[in-house]
Chain A
Amino acid sequence: MVTKTKSIKPDTPPATTAAPESTGWQKLTKPLLIAFVILYLGLVLFIPALNVFVQAFSGGVGLFLKTFSQRAFLNALWLTILMAIIAVPLNTVFGLCAAWAIARNKQFPGRTLLISLIDLPFSVSPVVAGLMIVLLYGRNGWFGPLLEANDIKIIFAVPGMVLATLFVSLPFVAREVLPVLEEIGPEQEEAAKTLGASEWQTFWRVTLPSIRWGLLYGVLLTNARAMGEFGAVAVVSGNITGKTQTLPLFVEEAYKQYHTEAAYSAAVLLAGLAIVTMVAKALLERRTGLKTGAGH
Chain B
Amino acid sequence: MTTSSISQSTRLPAIPRPSIPWVITFGYLFVMLLLPVAALILKSLTLSPAEIWRIATSPMALSAYEVTFVTALFAGAINGLAGLIIAWVLIRYEFPSKRIVDSLIDLPFALPTAVAGLTLATVYSNTGWLGSLLAPLGIKVAFTRLGVFVAMLFISLPFVVRTVQPVLQEAEREIEEAAWSLGASQWQTFWRVVLPPIIPAVLTGVALGFARAVGEYGSVVIVASNVPFKDLIAPVLIFQRLEQYDYAGATVIGTVMLLISLLMLLAINLLQAWGRRYGN
Q: Which residue numbers of A lie inside 8 Å of B, CB to CB?
A: 1, 3-4, 7-8, 11, 16, 18-20, 26, 29-30, 33-34, 36-38, 40-41, 43-49, 51-52, 55, 93-94, 96-98, 100-101, 104-105, 107-110, 112-114, 116-129, 131-136, 140-142, 163, 166-167, 170, 221, 224, 227-231, 234-235, 247-249, 251-252, 255, 260, 263-264, 267, 270-271, 273-275, 277-279, 281-282
- In the bound complex, how far is the Cα of B114 from the Cα of A227, in angstroms? 11
Interface centre among B15, B89, B112 (most CB of A within 10 A): B112
Residues on B with C-beta less than 8 A from A100 are 21
5 contacting pairs across A/B (C-beta < 8 A) = A37-B89, A101-B25, A228-B113, A229-B112, A231-B216
Cross-chain contact A281 with B129 (CB below 8 angstroms): no
Kindly report which residue of chain B lies nearest to residue A29, judged by CB atoms. Answer: B186
Cross-chain contact A248 with B238 (CB below 8 angstroms): no
Pick the contact of A248 from B115, B181, B242, B247 — CB < 8 Å? B115
- In the bound complex, how far is the Cα of B117 from the Cα of A185, in angstroms? 43
Residues on A with C-beta less than 8 A from B211 are 122-123
Pick the contact of A131 from B40, B116, B218, B222 — CB < 8 Å? B40
Interface size on B, residues (CB 8 A): 98
Residues on B with C-beta less than 8 A from A41 are 86, 101, 104-105
Cross-chain contact B85 with A36 (CB below 8 angstroms): yes
Residues on A with C-beta less than 8 A from B130 are 43, 47
Kindly report which residue of chain A lies nearest to residue B237, judged by CB atoms. Answer: A127
* Smallest beta-carbon distance A164→chain B, Å: 10
Main secondary structure of the interface of A (DSSP, over half): helix
Pick the contact of B217 from A44, A224, A230 — CB < 8 Å? A230
Q: Which residue numbers of B lie inside 8 Å of A, CB to CB?
A: 1, 5, 8-9, 12, 14-16, 20-22, 24-25, 28-29, 32-37, 39-40, 43, 82, 85-86, 88-90, 92-97, 99, 101, 103-123, 128-130, 150, 153-154, 157, 177, 180-181, 186, 211-212, 214-218, 221-222, 234-236, 238-239, 242, 247, 250-251, 254, 257-258, 261-262, 264-266, 268-269
Cross-chain contact A7 with B235 (CB below 8 angstroms): no
Cross-chain contact B217 with A231 (CB below 8 angstroms): yes
Kindly report which residue of chain B lies nearest to residue A252, judged by CB atoms. Answer: B114
Residues on A with C-beta less than 8 A from B99 are 282
Cross-chain contact A263 with B118 (CB below 8 angstroms): yes
Interface centre among A114, A132, A251 (most CB of B within 10 A): A132
Kindly report which residue of chain A lies nearest to residue B211, judged by CB atoms. Answer: A123
Kindly report which residue of chain B lies nearest to residue A30, judged by CB atoms. Answer: B93
Pick the contact of B238 from A131, A163, A221, A264 — CB < 8 Å? A131
Pick the contact of B118 from A132, A170, A264 — CB < 8 Å? A264
* Smallest beta-carbon distance B180→chain A, Å: 5
- In the bound complex, how far is the Cα of B228 from the Cα of A2, in angstroms? 42
* Smallest beta-carbon distance A283→chain B, Å: 10
Pick the contact of B32 from A36, A134, A170 — CB < 8 Å? A170
Residues on A with C-beta less than 8 A from B218 are 126, 230-231, 234, 248, 252
Given contacts A45-B108, A51-B123, A128-B235, 6 further A-B contacts (CB under 8 A): A11-B94, A36-B82, A97-B25, A101-B21, A129-B36, A281-B110
